[in-house]
Amino acid sequence: MGDEQRTSISGKVPYHKLFSLADGADQALMLVGAITAVGSGLSMPLMTLIFGDLANAFAHNVETKTVAQQVAKLSLKYVYLAVGSGVATFSQVSCWMITGERQAARIRNLYLRAVLRQDVGYFDTEVKTGEIMERISNDSLIIQDAMSEKVGKFIQLSTSFLGGIVIAFIKGWLLASILLSVIPLLIISAALMTFLISKLTARGQFAYSKAAVVVEQTIISIRDVRNNYLLNPWLLLVTRISQMQVASFTGERRAVARYDKSLHGAYEAGVQIGLAAGVGSGIFMLLLFCSYALAIWFGAIMIVEKGYTGGDVLNVTLAIVMGSFSVGLVTPCLSAFAAGQTAAFKLFETMQREPTIDPYNTNGLMLNDMNGDVELRDVHFSYPSRPNERVLAGFSLEVPCGTTLALVGESGSGKSTVINLVERFYDPQLGEVLIDGINIKEFQVKWLRGKIGLVSQEPVLFALSIKENISYGKSDATLTQIRMAAQAANAANFIDKLPQGLDTVVGGNGTQLSGGQKQRIALARAILKDAKILLLDEATSALDAESERVVQEALDRVLINRTTLVVAHRLSTVKNADSIAVIHQGKIVEKGLKTNAAATYIYSYTFSSVSTRIFVFATQVHILSCCKLLEGVYNHLVKLQETASKDSTTTQNSMSAHAAEKKTAETPPPSSSLPKLENRALLVHLSKPELPQLVLGSLCAAVNGATLPLYGLLFSGAIKSLYEPPHELQKQSRFWAIMLVTLGLASLITTPLKSYLFAVAGCKLIRRVRLMCFHKLVHMDIGWFERPQNSSSKLGSRLSADAASLRSLVGDSLALLVHNTSTAIAGFIIAFGASWELSLLVLPMLPLIGLNGYLHMKFISGFAADTKVAYLRTSSHDISTIIYNSKTIFFLTRKKLYEEATQVASEAVGSIRTVASLCGEDKVAELYREKCRVPVRLGSKQGVVSGASFGLSLFLLYSVYAASYYAGARLVDAGKINFGDVFRVFLGLSMTATAISQSSALAPDSGKAKAGAASIFALLHQKPDIDSCSNSGTRLESIKGDIVFHNVTFAYPTRPGVEIFKDLCFAIHSGKREINDHLVAAEVLRPEFRRDNDRRRRNPRAELEMAEAANGSGGVEEPALFNDTIRANIAYGKGDGEEEATEAEIVAAARLSNAHAFISGMDEGYETNVGERGIQLSGGQKQRVAIARAIVKAPRILLLDEATSALDAESERAVQGAFMAGTTTLVVAHRLSTIKNADLILVLRDGVVVERGNHQSLINDNKHGVYASLLALHSAS
């Protein structure tokens, strides 16, 4: 059976397949690492040989006073062993960590390439962006753990086991044979535990992947998450500024509740893993101590009956039992391997998947000269996510080369689907799509898309500079070509006004630009591509009349000799087309040539038919009944969640941006010790709810920790008994055997309890911290999300990996600390009770091991935790600092760089259609690989440091053993102690040393945990400039909806030098419709009013309580829908604390937004899932659902930011009627139909109101004014 078949059946990949991507250097590293791991593993069996000889030397030379002489020779062998094992361990750890880092990076790169290779239907039906990012950021780390240092450890432990077996059979085959009977039980118990942990790990990963999707969607749509706490009617902007946040929908609590629910499965899986691991370890310890008991009892028989010496029995016993112990230590390695195989399943499955439309396939036709004839012939098509809903049925269309065809029709009629098929995002189920008479399936995909330019109605920009975004589809473009494309798209003017011009970074999803600016950048990108076929899907919908005219002129020039398909609702956009086709329910119902009569007829047919007029009349009648239904919701207030301290720091907003930045730069960083102390205190505080579990778990850990010293006490007594006379030997051996079994039973009880209790505490902490972080995120001000370091992918990584790492500090590390402390105390008591002289001689040497462990942890934390960037609050700004040797320095770290790489991947996957249309798959993959290059080098350095420190720890450990034996021998020769005391002291202190070395071995995980904790605590320490959690502020008893802007000056936090508003003043009375038309400030007015970003000047409205200010208003801009049903998306408009929206309210809102008809036409109606970011709906359908979401809230203030730009005229008229029901409405619009009925129109230019009045007054009183000029442009077009 092939790998692919086994993969699909078992849900995990074959282990060897994890290494299938290793190159020559990796193979060399693995070879050296494997050889040195074998050498490191042989050190333990060789140590048992030396130990057996030492026991004989102590027992047989007491009478001759030559113990010290004999032991000195054997101690020298220990020194040789220390040197060899130290060098071998260094090579083993460093080689495996380096190759693991390299191969994991390669897997990430190839997985991303494989994801980008997939057809668009794959993203519609099989995977979500959050799941992909979870695999890249989290699952890849699990895979790396499975193929890194744990592989070397597995080889080392396996060699120890096999070497011990060989030595045991050489020294005493009969005793070895008896002891081997226990090993199968050990292996079975370990295998069973590994199997259970593997299954539970997969369950936990699947559970958290759902939570990751919630995080991704919420952060991307953060403005809409808050759209229920939108500027309330009680905004009489009168007094001082406070730091309160207002955004779009009050969905914070709802989003937090969804996230909390999705975390429950991950919590249960984590607890079950802890319990399974504890039970497995307890059974293993019981079997191990029973093995010792069997060895002592049967060894005594062998001495009496077969002539074995005490040294032979010890040699065989230690070789077998310590070899078996190695098998037990293999369990974490096997768990890591199993988890890695499970985590790799989805990654390798995607990497093996052959897409139906493959952009990487180099086969296919590539014409030397494409004419550009486009034809759709009898096409039948349904989207993969809705196979039963036919979008196109028998659709046929011809577009001769060099001509422009406009597609018009109601929203959801199939216009954009035609664009998707020509771009070959999908293939039709029946029929053909042809270019130049050739089925496009015959063409090479990348070549085909390179000949097609696409501008969608929702422009997608990447977190790059404007220059890089424009040249995205043409990597070899010169600066001159980029500037010419920007000028042609009418983007040069606003670009030149930006401080950094073309080098301005647009932010994630282009958040630093307005909608119109983003659209013009996207147009420039298409113009630069110089494609033979152009697809324009509402390409000018977000532009004002003047910009549209200039852009349309540029397009008209570009369209010459090019085949163009235009999807539009505006007559001005389609009137110059060579032909116009009307689409209705997936079919062309009318097609006309380029004549005024034909255009007018077609336009009237579509938008002014009798049925349409009847529908509008019915809608107007229904408005009255719906308004009565929703009237009771108007004054319903939302209860606010409890907030943190009321004395949170506020900033002086009267300070200019320049002065604020200067103050931040001059503010000295806090004391270097303060953040660590605060973090520890916060960690303790967060763990308080689990105090009972932590206390009980610590008690179990303490008892469990004393097990090893007690074993040393019992075993040293058993060693001495091996040299007693026969009659005493058998009696004492039975006693020590019974005691060892009793100790094993105690371990069976305490180990599972300890593991379970700490798992409960740790998993509860992870769940709580993730919830706290998510709660913090959804209440941060919008400006905070616009910073590059706060992208959705980076924040998702913090909640995923960094929050999970806290368990290592609270659960695993606390358990290990208590365990090791108990071991040390018990070991010291036993050692000093046996011989204080020898204990005092050995004690000064133990700090060598402790110092090594400390240095090891510091080295590791220097490349992980200590180099992790912590974002510390200084004044009102964030600075990136790290604490290292009491000095504050600035630099990027490995974790930071990986977050930047993850952001690249997240943006590309989330905008896969744009990437595919621009043939940008290779560019994204190369950029991601480049971003990962530096952190891979840092990881390799970490491997070298880890190997050196761990090798040093083993060298010191064996050196202390040698010195301890020799000191004991001198005391035995002096007659101060007997040889039994020597072993009691040695075993007691060696168990302590073992505990310390275990702490040292776990330091890499500890370093990662501290790094994650620093990241999480830095996030929790963040304080928003505008606090949406705050209960402070005025709560008005009655709401009118009056709005006043008084001397408002505003600049975005990320561009403080560019003023958007300059002393803006206007007033809107309740129930009025305010239109703000044109220019730079149009996009900014709505966020400013909602307090998404706080102003630089006095903001009287800030006196209002934040949630109060939001509850009475709703907003619509670029429609952002959640991956849920249509019903849930509409109901999301109800504020937190309000009753759930009823069925009647949802349907009424959908009718008012003209969405009910298309929703009812779907197979699942209101239960239809809209897909990630609403991808399963057309642009117009998404906008109508978003409008329904605002309507269901019944706001007294409504903010509409180009809310109807993607709607056809029928839908726009119906929607506008819904806005007239006594609501104060602030509209940003460019369409004349949207503007002319407003009570007040503001014309903005360069952040200043240049004209105001209603439509009639503006055209009559100032016929040569700005508004009249805009109107003339509309009329001319």
Same domain as 1118, residue 1242: yes
Which of 1020, 1038, 1065 terminates a domain? The answer is 1020
Q: What tens digit of pLDDT does each residue of 384-405 get?
A: 888 888 899 889 999 999 888 9
Domain CATH code at residue 677: 1.20.1560.10
Q: Which of 29-43, 528-542, 913-927, 1066-1080 bottoms out in mean pLDDT, i.e. has the lowest?
A: 1066-1080
Q: What is the rounded distance in angstroms from the CA atom of residue 360 to the CA atom of residue 1013?
A: 41
Confidence (pLDDT) at 99: 94
Burial of residue 677 (CB within 10 Å: 0-12, 13-18, 19+) is exposed
Same domain as 285, residue 404: no
Long-range contacts of 395-400 (CB under 8 A, 24+ apart): 395/431, 395/586, 395/587, 395/588, 396/431, 396/588, 397/581, 397/588, 398/373, 398/374, 399/373, 399/374, 399/375, 399/563, 399/565, 400/373, 400/563
Percent of the chain with pLDDT over 70: 71
Confidence check: pLDDT of 1237 > 60: yes
359 within some domain: no
Domain CATH code at residue 1083: 3.40.50.300
Q: What tens digit of pLDDT does each residue of 627-660 get?
A: 332 233 223 322 323 333 333 333 333 333 333 3
Same domain as 379, residue 249: no
The C-alpha angle 864, 866, 868, rounded to 5 degrees, equals 65
Q: What is the mean pLDDT of residues 522-551?
A: 77
Can you say whether the dihedral through the CA atoms of 849, 852, 858, 864 is positive or negative? Answer: negative
Q: What six digits make up the tokens of 853?
A: 């462990």
614 within some domain: no
Same domain as 569, residue 528: yes
Confidence (pLDDT) at 532: 87
Confidence (pLDDT) at 292: 86
Type of residue at 1060: I
Q: What is the mean pLDDT of residues 224-252?
A: 35
Confidence category of residue 1033, pLDDT binned at 50, 70, 90: low
49 within some domain: yes
665 within some domain: no
Same domain as 781, residue 874: yes
660 within some domain: no
Can you say whether the dihedral through the CA atoms of 200, 895, 463, 1117 is positive or negative? Answer: positive
Specify the higher pLDDT residue, 923 or 868. 923
Among the listed residues 724, 711, 705, 708, the one whose alpha carbon sits nearest the alpha carbon of residue 980: 724
Among the listed residues 160, 273, 155, the one whose alpha carbon sits nearest the alpha carbon of residue 208: 273
Q: Which of 1081-1090, 1151-1160, 1166-1175 bottoms out in mean pLDDT, i.e. has the lowest?
A: 1081-1090
7 within some domain: yes
Q: What is the 3-state secondary structure (H, E, C) of 820-846?
A: HHHHHHHHHHHHHHHCHHHHHHHHHHH
pLDDT, mean over the chain: 74
Same domain as 307, residue 161: yes
Helix (H, G, I), strand (E, B) or coil at 89: helix
Confidence (pLDDT) at 852: 56
Q: What tens digit of pLDDT does each residue of 481-534 get?
A: 999 888 888 888 889 888 888 998 887 667 778 777 888 888 888 888 888 898
Helix (H, G, I), strand (E, B) or coil at 1114: strand
How many domains, the chain? 3
Confidence category of residue 322, pLDDT binned at 50, 70, 90: confident
Q: What is the rounded distance in angstroms from the CA atom of residue 295 to the CA atom of residue 181?
A: 11
Q: Which of 22-26, 251-255, 619-623, 807-811 bottoms out in mean pLDDT, i.e. has the lowest?
A: 619-623
Q: What is the mean pLDDT of residues 771-780?
A: 79
Confidence category of residue 735, pLDDT binned at 50, 70, 90: very high
Same domain as 1092, residue 954: no
Specify the higher pLDDT residue, 315 or 631. 315
Same domain as 1066, residue 919: no
Same domain as 114, residue 37: yes
Same domain as 433, residue 307: no
Confidence category of residue 671, pLDDT binned at 50, 70, 90: very low
Can you say whether the dihedral through the CA atoms of 1162, 1167, 1171, 1175 is positive or negative? Answer: positive
Q: What six digits make up the tokens of 613?
A: 């007029």
1156 within some domain: yes
Q: What tens digit of pLDDT does each residue of 331-384 get?
A: 778 878 888 999 899 899 999 999 999 999 889 899 888 888 999 999 999 988
Phi, psi of 1021 (to 5 degrees): -80, -10
Domain that holds residue 72: 3-353+673-1020
Q: What is the rounded distance in angstroms from the CA atom of residue 1011 to the CA atom of residue 860?
A: 10
Q: What six digits make up the tokens of 271?
A: 């607890």
pTM: 0.63
Confidence category of residue 543, pLDDT binned at 50, 70, 90: low
Same domain as 632, residue 529: no
Convert 198-226 to b/e letters by CB count within 10 Å (16 or more is b). bbbbbbbbbbbbbbbbbbbbbbbbbbbbb
Which of 1020, 1044, 1075 terminates a domain? The answer is 1020
Which of 1020, 1036, 1057 terminates a domain? The answer is 1020
Confidence (pLDDT) at 35: 96
Confidence (pLDDT) at 34: 96
Confidence category of residue 307, pLDDT binned at 50, 70, 90: confident
- Range among 16-20, 66-70, 644-648, 1107-1111 rated most confident: 16-20
Same domain as 271, residue 230: yes
667 within some domain: no
Q: What is the rounded distance in angstroms from the CA atom of residue 819 to the CA atom of residue 837?
A: 27
Confidence (pLDDT) at 1204: 60
Confidence category of residue 1244, pLDDT binned at 50, 70, 90: confident
Confidence (pLDDT) at 1119: 64
Confidence (pLDDT) at 862: 34
